[in-house]
């Protein structure tokens, strides 16, 4: 029912309660309850007596049929493409599908109740204001061969956005996309499987498209969205472009690891050659960012010489030396 209501309201025009009730086959009081639900999902709902309800600016909803058509020529093809209005987590949904035998799949949600970022942080995004999706993928080379995967994924997203005219995006080790130190997107990779055999991987992406100002103010770090960068294209077409590039990069990664992608990643590393501070738990390390290794580890020039740091709980922040 919520899907049908959103489809009607997506045009941004006023629709009376009686009109909506007739269209959906429900009472006006039920319409009002659904409007309350939309507000709970982060949407701004205008209600004007005598005119009805509207969503200011309308909604650019993901068109599942169009997405399927745009990805139908991708090789290898995706075994499953699922687009839903709301879900707990697209990563959880992808992992469930992998466990039931799905080889590859794309799982998309307009809203996540339990979307997550790194280190257990929540991913806050009102309905239809971002792209929240997970690509389910299988690798046959074992978990050890997946070092640098999050960097490869970030590079794929950066390249796809550049092709769409969004050229200001840089990468922050190990898995964020930034524009002028403000976060545009994050990546959460979860895997299961054999250390030496097949691994099932859920590659989760959260990309800010048009965040309401009220939501941006709630976040614990500077953020930016594609709308602020001048992007006005279709979310469906953008998602298809991101997935196509991501599949291409994953194929390259599986064939030759991260080493072949390393020069391209370092070319858009936002901290390349800068003084930085890494924090891991109660420990911190200061140094100059030299780039990354062929395995995706971060190279720092510290007072002890050149040191390499890998994933886990490490975070990176710009740090100016005295």
- Per-residue pLDDT reduced to its tens digit, 112-121: 987 555 555 5
Mean pLDDT value of segment 37-60: 91
What pLDDT, on a 0 to 100 scale, did the predictor assign at position 199? 93
Of all residues in the chain, what percent carry a pLDDT higher than 70? 92
Q: Alpha-carbon distance 120 to 108, whole Å?
A: 20
117 annotated among ligand-binding-site residues: yes
Longest dimension (CA), the chain: 72
Alpha helices in the chain (DSSP H): 2-9, 17-24, 28-40, 64-71, 90-99, 149-163, 213-216, 235-256, 262-267
Active site residue 317: yes
- The CB density around residue 113, as the number of other CB atoms within 10 Å, is 11
* H-run or E-run covering 145: none
Q: What is the mean pLDDT of residues 238-261?
A: 96
**Catalytic residue (one of 22, 33, 121, 317):** 317
Reported confidence tier of residue 84, pLDDT bands at 50, 70, 90: very high
Alpha carbons within 13 angstroms on the beta-carbon side of residue 94 total 31
Using the predicted structure, report yes or no on whether residue 312 has a pLDDT greater than 60: no
2-54 CATH = 1.10.10.10
118 is in an annotated binding site: yes
- 172 is known to lie in a ligand binding site: no
Listed range (164-173, 190-199, 247-256) with the worst mean pLDDT: 190-199
User: What's the pLDDT band for 126 if we cut at 50, 70, 90?
Assistant: confident
- The CATH number given to 271-318 is 2.30.30.100
Q: Does the annotation flag 116 for ligand binding?
A: yes
Q: Which of 183, 235, 244, 245 is catalytic?
A: 183
Sheet holding 275-280, edge to edge: 305-309, 298-302, 283-292, 275-280, 314-318
**For residue 71, is pLDDT > 80?**
yes
| Predicted pLDDT of residue 283 | 83
290 φψ region: left (φ > 0), alpha (ψ -120 to 50), beta (else): alpha
Does the annotation flag 90 for ligand binding? yes
Q: Is 183 annotated as a binding residue?
A: yes
Strand order in the sheet with 170-172: 80-87, 105-112, 130-139, 199-208, 182-193, 176-179, 170-172
Q: Is 103 a catalytic residue?
A: no
47 annotated binding-site participant: no
Average pLDDT over every residue of 225-244: 96
Give all strands (DSSP E) within the chain, no chain letters. 46-48, 52-54, 80-87, 105-112, 130-139, 170-172, 176-179, 182-193, 199-208, 275-280, 283-292, 298-302, 305-309, 314-318
**What mean pLDDT is reported for the chain?**
90
Residue 118 bears catalytic tag = yes
Domain ranges, ordered by start, for the chain: 2-54, 64-266, 271-318
* CATH superfamily entry for domain 64-266: Bira Bifunctional Protein; Domain 2 (3.30.930.10)
Identify the weakest region by mean pLDDT among 56-70, 205-219, 233-247, 266-280. 205-219
Query: What does the pLDDT read at residue 321?
Result: 52
Q: List pLDDT tens digits, range 137-159.
A: 999 888 888 999 999 999 999 99
pLDDT at position 185:
96
């Amino acid at each position: 029912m919520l899907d049908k209501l959103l489809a009607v309201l997506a045009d941004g025009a006023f629709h009376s309660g009686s009109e909506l009730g007739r269209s959906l086959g429900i009472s006006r009081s039920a319409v009002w309850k659904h409007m309350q639900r939309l507000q709970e999902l982060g949407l701004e709902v205008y209600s004007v007596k005598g005119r009805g309800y509207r969503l200011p600016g309308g909604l650019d909803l993901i068109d599942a049929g169009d997405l399927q058509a745009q990805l139908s020529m991708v090789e290898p093809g995706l075994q499953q493409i699922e687009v839903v209005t709301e879900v707990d987590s697209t990563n959880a949904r992808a992992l469930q599908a992998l466990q039931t035998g799905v080889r590859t799949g794309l799982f998309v949600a307009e809203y996540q109740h339990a979307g997550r970022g790194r280190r257990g942080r929540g991913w806050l995004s009102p309905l239809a204001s971002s792209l929240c999706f997970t690509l389910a993928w299988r690798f046959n080379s074992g978990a050890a061969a997946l070092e640098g995967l999050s960097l490869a994924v970030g590079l794929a997203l950066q390249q796809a956005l550049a092709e769409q005219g969004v050229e200001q995006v840089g990468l922050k080790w190990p898995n964020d996309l930034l524009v002028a130190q403000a976060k545009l997107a994050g990546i959460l990779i979860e895997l299961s499987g054999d250390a030496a055999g097949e691994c099932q991987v859920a590659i989760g992406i959260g990309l800010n498209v048009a965040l309401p100002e009220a939501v941006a103010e709630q976040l614990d770090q500077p953020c930016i969205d594609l709308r602020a960068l001048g992007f006005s294209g279709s979310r469906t077409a953008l998602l298809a472009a991101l997935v196509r590039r991501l599949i291409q990069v994953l194929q390259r990664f599986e064939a030759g690891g991260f080493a072949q992608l390393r020069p391209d990643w370092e070319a858009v590393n936002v901290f390349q050659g800068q003084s930085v501070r890494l924090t891991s738990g109660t420990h911190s390390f200061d140094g100059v960012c030299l780039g990354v290794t062929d395995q995706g580890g971060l190279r720092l020039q510290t007072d002890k010489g050149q040191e390499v740091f890998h994933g886990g709980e490490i975070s990176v922040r710009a740090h100016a030396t005295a």
